[in-house]
C-alpha cells in the first residue's frame, strides 16, 4: 500500500468525508482534512488530523489547500450548483499541481442534468487520473438531510413518487474510497457503489414503523410542496434545486439499478436499510 502519499479529503465533516478520514487514519495514512471551519474539524478528529482551509467560494484558499498533496477525494458541497464557476478552477489547479489521483463522489447513474456529471466530465477532459464513485441513494439522507422533517412530522417528505431506491450507507462508500486511495487502484474507472436491495419510500416508512414502534408515513409530495417545505425548514435554494432535480430523475426512471462493484472491491455485502434504521433510531423518535 502507498502510505507516503498526502491525501486531501474535501467535505471533511460530511457523511462520506468524515467516514473516509476515519478509515484512512486506521491505515496510518497522511490525511489532510479540507473544510471551512477548523474548530469543527478538530472537534471531530482531534489532533490526529491535519487541517487545510478550503472554501470553494474563495479561490484564495485553493493554492494552500493543495500544497504538497498527491491525492484528493473531491465532493461537491450540497449548496453549490454552479460547479463550473466554483469548482472547475479548483480542479484545474489540481491538474496544474500534478495531483496523481482524484476520487470523485458522484451519484449512481449520473446524467447531464446533475452537477456531479459535469464534475466527472471536466476531470476526464483534463486527463486527471480519476476514479468516479457513483453512490446509491444515501441512507444518511434520512438521518441527516431530511431528519428534522421526518422527526417532527413523521413523514418521509420527499417528492420521489413510487421510485425504488438503492439505499446505500455512506460508510460503505467511504470504505471503498479509502481502499482505492491507499491502493492506487481502479484508475480511470467509474464505479457504482450501491446496496443490494431496492425499496420505495412507502416501504421504508413501513420498515421504520415496524422497527421503531411509531407510525411513519410517506405522503409523496409534489415538487412545489417539497420546495415550499424545505424553504420553511431553512434549506438553501441551490440545495433544494439539486434535490428536486435528483428526485425528479428518480421519479421518471422509476427504479435504481443494482451493481456488484462494492462487493467486488470489499469482498463483503453492503449494509442494509434495516440495520441502518435500528442504529439511527434516535434520529427520528
Q: Which residues 6+ apart lie within 8 Å of 97 measured at CB?
A: 66, 69
> Which alpha helices (DSSP H) does 169-222 contain, by range?
170-183, 201-212
Per-residue confidence in pLDDT tens, the chain, 285 aa: 344 689 999 999 999 999 999 999 999 999 999 999 999 999 999 888 899 999 999 999 999 999 999 999 999 998 888 999 999 999 999 999 999 999 999 988 888 878 899 999 999 999 999 999 999 999 999 999 999 999 999 999 999 999 999 999 999 999 999 999 999 999 999 999 999 899 999 999 999 999 999 999 999 999 999 999 999 999 988 889 888 988 988 888 888 888 999 999 999 999 999 999 999 999 998
Instruction: Report pLDDT for 1.
Output: 39
Please state, in angstroms and rounded to a whole number, the distance separating the CA atoms of residues 264 and 186: 12
Nearest Cα neighbor of 141 from 175, 112, 110, 166 is: 166
Instruction: Report pLDDT for 4.
Output: 67
Residue position matching grid coordinates 486527471: 128
For the chain, domains (ranges, CATH) are 6-138+168-194+259-266 (3.40.50.720)
Instruction: Report pLDDT for 17.
Output: 95
> Which alpha helices (DSSP H) does 77-159 contain, by range?
83-86, 88-96, 115-125, 140, 147-153
- Residue 142 sits at φ, ψ, to 5 deg, of -75, -35
Ramachandran region, residue 212 (left: φ > 0; alpha: ψ -120 to 50; beta: rest): alpha
89 touches 30 (CB < 8 A): no
Please state, in angstroms and rounded to a whole number, the distance separating the CA atoms of residues 195 and 198: 8
DSSP code for 142: I
Q: Which residues 6+ apart lie within 8 Å of 133 measured at CB?
A: 103, 104, 105, 106, 173, 176, 177, 180, 191, 193
46: Cα separation from own chain's centroid: 23
Instruction: Report pLDDT for 2.
Output: 43
Q: Report how far apart, in Å, the C-alpha atoms of 71 and of each of 74, 209, 221 are.
A: 10, 43, 41
Residue position matching grid coordinates 443490494: 196
Is this model's pTM higher than 0.85 or not?
Answer: yes
DSSP code for 283: G
Helices (H) and strands (E) counted in the chain, each on its own, are: 14, 9
104 touches 119 (CB < 8 A): yes
Ramachandran region, residue 37 (left: φ > 0; alpha: ψ -120 to 50; beta: rest): beta
DSSP code for 144: I
Amino acid at each position: 500500500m502507498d502510505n507516503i502519499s498526502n491525501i486531501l479529503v474535501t467535505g471533511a465533516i460530511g457523511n462520506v468525508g468524515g467516514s473516509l478520514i476515519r478509515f484512512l487514519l486506521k491505515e496510518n495514512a497522511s490525511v489532510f482534512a479540507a473544510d471551512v471551519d477548523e474548530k469543527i474539524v478538530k472537534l471531530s478528529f482531534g489532533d490526529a488530523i491535519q487541517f487545510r482551509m478550503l472554501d470553494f467560494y474563495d479561490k484564495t484558499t485553493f493554492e494552500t489547500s493543495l500544497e504538497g498533496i498527491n491525492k484528493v477525494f473531491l465532493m461537491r458541497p450540497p449548496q453549490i450548483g454552479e460547479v463550473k464557476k466554483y469548482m472547475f478552477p479548483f480542479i484545474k489547479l489540481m491538474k496544474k499541481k500534478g495531483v496523481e489521483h482524484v476520487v470523485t463522489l458522484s451519484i449512481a447513474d449520473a446524467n447531464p442534468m446533475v452537477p456531479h456529471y459535469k464534475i466527472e466530465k471536466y476531470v476526464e477532459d483534463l486527463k486527471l487520473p480519476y476514479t468516479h464513485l457513483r453512490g446509491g441513494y444515501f441512507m444518511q439522507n434520512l438521518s441527516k438531510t431530511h431528519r428534522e422533517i421526518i422527526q417532527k412530522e413523521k413523514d418521509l417528505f420527499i417528492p420521489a413518487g413510487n421510485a425504488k431506491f438503492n439505499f446505500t450507507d455512506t460508510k460503505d462508500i467511504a470504505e471503498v474510497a479509502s481502499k482505492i486511495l491507499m491502493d492506487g487502484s481502479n484508475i480511470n474507472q467509474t464505479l457504482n457503489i450501491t446496496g443490494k436491495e431496492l425499496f420505495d419510500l412507502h416501504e421504508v416508512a413501513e420498515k421504520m414503523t415496524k422497527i421503531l414502534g411509531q407510525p411513519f408515513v410517506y405522503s409523496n409530495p409534489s415538487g412545489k410542496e417539497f420546495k415550499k417545505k424545505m424553504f420553511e425548514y431553512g434549506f438553501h435554494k441551490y440545495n433544494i434545486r439539486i434535490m428536486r432535480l435528483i428526485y425528479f430523475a428518480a421519479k421518471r426512471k422509476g427504479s435504481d439499478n443494482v451493481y456488484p462493484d462494492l462487493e467486488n472491491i470489499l469482498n463483503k455485502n453492503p449494509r442494509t436499510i434495516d440495520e441502518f434504521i435500528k442504529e439511527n433510531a434516535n434520529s427520528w423518535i
